[in-house]
Chains A and B, each alone.
Chain A
Amino acid sequence: MSAGTDKTKPVDHAGAAAAFVADTPHLAFHDRRLWELRQKRDGQMHVIPEWQELRSLASAIKEHTLSRLADYLEQFEAQAKARGVTVHWARNAEEHNATVLRIMREHKAKTLAKSKSMLTEECEMAPFLERHGITITETDLGERIQQLDGQAPSHIVVPAVHKLREDVARVFARTIGGDPNNADPNALAEHARVTTRPLMLDADIGMTGANFLVAETGAVVVCTNEGNADLSANIPKVHIVSAGIEKLIPRQADLGVFIRLLSRSALGSPITQYTSHFRGPRAGAEMHIILVDNGRSQRLGEEDFWPSLKCIRCGACMNTCPVYRRSGGLSYGAVYSGPIGAIINPSYDPMRYSTLPFASTLNGSCTSVCPVKINIHDQLYKWRRVIAERGLLPKNKALSLRIAGYVLASPRLYRLATGAARMAVRHLPRALLYSKLNSWGRDREVPAAPKESFAAWAARNRPVKR
């Protein structure tokens, strides 16, 4: 179901989505499950009278922070260093991965237990470290399932949401043992627990991502439901935090806005089970923070697209997106899927991700649920322009739109074209009308064609007065 790995071609979202749609049991569950999350989110919104005000505050705090990001990063770094944290900076994925490897080698470390981090996916850290002989254990259950299946996460919050329980049973049976026919979720989760815990206990180094970095206090805030970030960070002697530089917020009190929004938006629960704050190493241990740019400073200078840096990775836009729910995260062929992915990915590789801004009906519900008020559907619209201007539309599509524009600028050509269309619908044999040339007709009937157009009716019945 993946959208292909040939990085020289645009992602075939439509093709991968069609395969996803064709698998009715998976499709139906995926749509139902994510819609359930959207509804739970709505429920939380309704019990917080100040919900819209919190969104405005969150947006304003993030915009302010991004407008002085360098200052806040310096403040954060100073705070963290004062508490004995080693702070590293990485311009890009390569520097990030090299830093992790260097820390690992300095400790002669062979094993890494990590909690969920989209940034490490972005940096393709796992394959890099594995090439250097490091064994990585994903400790979040959904991530672990995806790791064992050799698949990327399909959703930034619920990474294996596209799988049914039977799929999980098969993946486990193939990789960590277990009965492929016992698909009881409790048994599967228990099996994951008893097989993952020893790996965490044996890990040389623990790694977490970060949900927020607080400039004022130097705190790294990590939110999980499983407690796996706390295990990864609190067992090994070394804790590495991988964090994108856009994670900064100025004040501790700002967490009172963001923590109230994050899990409510993501899963419809009032808070994650664990909201953990790391400000320094435990006695006798080390803590490292890698601050990663990887395209973020570039995007900060893009007038139309910098607000996407406000994203707190809650996934609410994915849960509400009717297209995402029916195409699955892997169809986006990118680290970030769904509406937020469709506006983030093109700034990394406009050609490869040129199809993603078109994987949308521009319905706008993503913008409405975004807790930090990113204008997602406006950005989708703007990306379409950028892609067309750079000549990245499929050639036949660009040509037909040019022709359409020409025809629609001329009343005479327009009359000829619409007349011909009506004739075609009325007189073409069904076999031709519903041929593979007409993708409208694959899933839908074509409307019946009337005898005359409205313009013709009006010309007879309402002669022009002026």
Chain B
Amino acid sequence: MTVALAIPCFIDAFFPEVGIASLELLERLGVDVTYPQGQTCCGQPMANNGCQGAAKGAEAHFVDLFGDFDAVVMPSGSCVHHLRDHLDAVPQTDRVKHVRAHTYELVEYLHDVLQVRDFPWAEFPHKVGLHNSCGTLRSLRTASMSEMGETPFSKPLDLLHGVRGIEVVMPARPDECCGFGGTFSVAEDAVSGRMGLDKVRDHQQAGADYIVSADTSCLMHQQGCARRAGLPLRFIHIAQILNGARA
């Protein structure tokens, strides 16, 4: 079983600690994980803007780099959603189909493939609000959607329950989109900024000190909104908590 870690461009450039935590966590759990050098992007920013042609190079490069692995793990729900559901700028060869079918979001991989529930090294004595990105919620389906009336479940919470000392608080609008939305955040900056502000305020009113998520892009946006509003919230990727970060 060869497993590759794919690190999205914005984590690589601005949040290396998330990549480090993801890598160390997989290693701790005994996964033979490789980080192939030369990674760029999955193609999502172009494809989500309708520019399939412009996404083609990045998609082809991703498949080149990861086509030989049995599994690809990524600490980013929205990228995995793109790879799994929308990677169609390149011809659908067996290699492409293999990558699309064997790329996992980190929480999914831990919860469903490794089926790990205990993180004895992890302790996070804080009040935490969980942000499910829309990609994880409605495409990867790692948690139940409030608007569907389904039996509640949450893979990220199942994992966080294996962390000592953590207290999870629920915002009033648990599934409300935070407004990042890729280039939406700059094209519709006023609405995006307001959505982010409403989101972080909701978490703060629920008593959260930290907002945790499996999507760094949402966190980057929310952190920017919280800082601009002077809110003392802190932001952390779920991989960091599961890997034993204390703060």
CB contact between A418 and one of B13, B177, B192, B228 (< 8 Å): that residue: B13
Is B45 a contact partner of A444 (Cβ separation < 8 A)? no
Tell me the minimal C-beta distance from A333 to chain B in angstroms: 14
Closest B residue by C-beta to A444: B224
| Neighbouring B residues of A406 by C-beta, 8 Å | 54, 57
Is B177 a contact partner of A322 (Cβ separation < 8 A)? yes
Is A408 a contact partner of B50 (Cβ separation < 8 A)? no
Interface residue tally for chain B (C-beta within 8 Å): 78
A360-B184, A408-B40 given; A365·B196 CB < 8 A: no
Tell me the minimal C-beta distance from A417 to chain B in angstroms: 9
A401-B45, A454-B16 given; A414·B9 CB < 8 A: yes
Closest B residue by C-beta to A387: B50
| Neighbouring B residues of A38 by C-beta, 8 Å | 147
CB contact between B224 and one of A22, A31, A320, A440 (< 8 Å): that residue: A440
Closest A residue by C-beta to B225: A444
Closest A residue by C-beta to B134: A363
A21-B190, A414-B41 given; A453·B224 CB < 8 A: no
Answer yes or no: B149 CB below 8 A from chain A CBs: yes
| Neighbouring A residues of B36 by C-beta, 8 Å | 464
Is B194 a contact partner of A443 (Cβ separation < 8 A)? yes
Answer yes or no: B92 CB below 8 A from chain A CBs: no
Answer yes or no: A187 CB below 8 A from chain B CBs: no
Bound: A388/B49 CA distance, A: 8
Tell me the minimal C-beta distance from B188 to chain A in angstroms: 5
A402-B54, A457-B16, A458-B19 given; A445·B223 CB < 8 A: yes
Restricting to A378-411, which residues have a CB under 8 Å from any CB of B? 381, 383-389, 393, 397-398, 401-402, 404-406, 408-411
Tell me the minimal C-beta distance from B227 to chain A in angstroms: 4
Bound: A52/B190 CA distance, A: 35
Closest A residue by C-beta to B219: A447
Bound: A33/B224 CA distance, A: 27
Answer yes or no: B193 CB below 8 A from chain A CBs: yes
Bound: A365/B55 CA distance, A: 26
Restricting to A58-116, which residues have a CB under 8 Å from any CB of B? none
Is B16 a contact partner of A369 (Cβ separation < 8 A)? no
Answer yes or no: A17 CB below 8 A from chain B CBs: yes
Answer yes or no: A27 CB below 8 A from chain B CBs: yes
Is B20 a contact partner of A443 (Cβ separation < 8 A)? no
Interface centre among B16, B60, B173 (most CB of A within 10 A): B16
Answer yes or no: A251 CB below 8 A from chain B CBs: no
Is A364 a contact partner of B138 (Cβ separation < 8 A)? yes
Answer yes or no: A13 CB below 8 A from chain B CBs: yes
Answer yes or no: A173 CB below 8 A from chain B CBs: no
A362-B48, A447-B14, A447-B224 given; A405·B193 CB < 8 A: no
Is B223 a contact partner of A358 (Cβ separation < 8 A)? no
Answer yes or no: B206 CB below 8 A from chain A CBs: no
Is B37 a contact partner of A365 (Cβ separation < 8 A)? no
Is B220 a contact partner of A405 (Cβ separation < 8 A)? no
A38-B147, A402-B54, A405-B54 given; A443·B225 CB < 8 A: yes
Answer yes or no: B12 CB below 8 A from chain A CBs: yes
Restricting to B164-190, which residues have a CB under 8 Å from any CB of A? 173, 175-177, 179-190
Interface centre among B18, B138, B173, B182 (most CB of A within 10 A): B138
Restricting to A417-458, which residues have a CB under 8 Å from any CB of B? 418, 421-422, 425, 439-440, 442-450, 452-458
Is A440 a contact partner of B58 (Cβ separation < 8 A)? no
Answer yes or no: B195 CB below 8 A from chain A CBs: yes
Answer yes or no: B99 CB below 8 A from chain A CBs: no
Closest B residue by C-beta to A438: B186
| Neighbouring B residues of A388 by C-beta, 8 Å | 49-52
| Neighbouring A residues of B45 by C-beta, 8 Å | 401, 404, 408
Bound: A465/B227 CA distance, A: 40
Tell me the minimal C-beta distance from B230 to chain A in angstroms: 10
> Which 6 A-B pairs rank lowest in CB-CB distance, beginning with the nearest?
A409-B57, A443-B193, A444-B224, A405-B54, A361-B181, A388-B50
Q: For the A-B complex with A17-B188, A17-B190, A444-B227 known, give 15 more contacts whose Cβ atoms are closer than 8 Å.
A: A45-B147, A51-B149, A322-B195, A326-B198, A384-B49, A393-B49, A405-B43, A409-B40, A409-B56, A410-B57, A414-B40, A422-B14, A442-B190, A454-B12, A456-B16
